[in-house]
Amino acid sequence: MNADEIIEWIYRSTGSHCRTGAMLDRLVGVDTPTFWQVFLDLWNVCDDTWEHRADLLATLRSHSLIAPAIKYMTGADRAFASSLPEPIKVWRGCCRERVRGLAWTTDRAVAERFARGHRGIPVPDPVVAEATIARAGVFFVSTERKESEIVLDPRWLIRVKVEPSP
């Protein structure tokens, strides 16, 4: 299957809560350009990715070593990535046990909204985490849905502070 066929199949066959697993299954063995085309198209329509965190990290690390995602990002995302300072201050709204997730934001208000829950996903023990990360620890960014999203490798996070959600 080429990238467009994979994307079409996943949209047609899955809902947002199970899309991550289906996407990862379909991306096994594809080349890096196909991986990034599919992944960057579908990431924003995947919910509840935590259970796939280990596989996501392994896959993102592997493909990032071959070619960084910025080569495949759209103009708005590429411009956002290029505008980021070094280091980057990021926030994440989530339940306390999921602070070391992949999806963060440069906008604290967005993190606070996620801590309160979004798209029907409840958040037990909600917190807002703040951290700093070097640009080298960022897999890709997304300006979709105006969330200023930074998808990153949590190993690179420093100065992580966690506070209860406001």
pLDDT the model gives residue 117: 81
Tokens linked to 103? 């999806």
pLDDT the model gives residue 47: 86
Where do the domains of the chain lie? 3-70, 74-164
Tokens linked to 113? 């909204």
* Residue 143: CB atoms within 10 Å: 18
pLDDT the model gives residue 82: 94
pLDDT the model gives residue 56: 97
**What is the rounded distance in angstroms from the CA atom of residue 21 to the CA atom of residue 17?**
9
**What is the rounded distance in angstroms from the CA atom of residue 37 to the CA atom of residue 73?**
8
Q: What is the pLDDT along the chain (166 residues), one digit of tens a residue?
A: 899 999 999 999 998 889 999 999 999 999 999 999 999 999 999 988 999 999 999 999 999 999 999 999 989 999 999 999 999 999 999 999 999 999 999 999 999 999 998 766 778 899 999 999 999 999 999 998 899 999 999 999 999 999 998 7
Looking at residue 11, its amino acid is Y
Tokens linked to 79? 């411009």
**What is the rounded distance in angstroms from the CA atom of residue 85 to the CA atom of residue 159?**
16
| H or E segment to which residue 121 belongs | none
**What is the rounded distance in angstroms from the CA atom of residue 124 to the CA atom of residue 5?**
37
E-state strands within 96-152: 103-105, 126-133, 138-142, 149-152
